[in-house]
Structure 1
């Protein structure tokens, strides 16, 4: 089975590291993915999170694009309620003009932050309600068919940056189907509605100028190592880091290991760990078998992989081992 593989780089900032370190590691990861034959790399907009460095998503995309040559780069995604469509059209029109044929624009409806941060962004809490309208307005700016008389995106107009709808529920699936846009489901952290959402998207898809047939990208976690045993050790650390990160927000001192043990067995910890339900863990052969089965089950046209290993060296190895197992070039 041959299926395109892509990456979601969350630009993680582990304990003891710096944001500058993370940006250097993201460049190294992108270069490795390009050499290995991955289709695209996306970066997600998150705010007020000390462990994620991709808040200025378009700036990071431009930096990575300057350090690579051919791999597609984009947002997975821009949280459109945080922005005016015109500004996003200008940003991504600039990127497409500087790096033609390499830029994607994935769009999400969630604010990507807590309510206090949302207020700090100076946005109206009701902004998410206008998401469908804002997507169409943004599309108009990028195609040169502005919906606002006398207002155009410069740069942006006529760049036709491809849009993708991101989602973790039926709302995004139905909108992507109605607008005839590709749909990317966030099953790497929100697994519950995967099959229902993709079914709704495929069943209701309406062709558009951008897309004649439905196209599904499904998110999936990966921890690939030389052996199943090594991968399981790494995955256990991923679980512990995930629980302590989510439950320790705003905490001045880190949890002790015994405290993490207790948190992982709590109801809140178990709920967080369910986010990792779709994760390929093991040797290259085990990861290949999992990803092929997952793609068939999800009816996915492409997989966007999130390599979760806590150590940057292990994460880079996971990217390369997965590419080799799945028969990508390199």
Structure 2
């Protein structure tokens, strides 16, 4: 079967009835490629940011309300910051701040793939923030960057949070048609069977171990292979346990920056600071996420200051 092209930027929810588990299979193609290539990030930066995008999509798509999930790492390594926004409508954006010379110096091809977090991110934090919109409180979970990979750090987050048990596998790769990222997650369902009968603890634990073991058989290449459809991959992994799929969700790159928002921020800055930033009669603002340059005149900024 020829895979649907939408597989390449999609989130496929599924359920394994025989194990009482649910999950999501994330495939990112053009979405992650646009984020990584428009900044020309070094390969180690691209790999970690791409994995964080897959992680954000996997977790953000599980939210039951409209809003935004932000996944962020901050460390003392050469990659100082990774930040990804996932909106409930499928829009995504990502950004990295790093020391280029430090990244080059830290590259050791014998260890980069197996331990990228300590090598490039160093000591720091992984933060997941949920924003449900105006007039609501932010929810934030934070864990130390304690692990060799971002997947390890995410598992530490799951273990320390009060949420349902979650297992995760991440993948990232660069091919002839650009960057691809993927994620596969499993979560426990409610502790009742199909007929609302209680599921004994021993059976629940056995089902969970079986699901995690099957998830572990998925290879990184399978998670990002555009020639293998999401349906075929899920059937290959879980068909013996009764897997069924639901409507997929589309994912796309979209930045939320705007001239209005930039002017509102500039309008609150002291006039002397604005004067120092003006070059040849204009002030340029470059969005860190989409790399778009916005150009404003002092008169525009002055008008914004009067309105603020």
Q: Is the structural similarity TM-score above 0.5?
A: no
Bigger relative contact order, structure 1 or 2 (CA pairs below 8 A, ≥6 apart)? 2
Structure whose residues are more often helix by fraction = 1
Instruction: Report the TM-score when normalising by structure 2.
Output: 0.29
Structure index of larger Rg: 2
Instruction: Report the TM-score when normalising by structure 1.
Output: 0.28
Structure whose residues are more often strand by fraction = 2
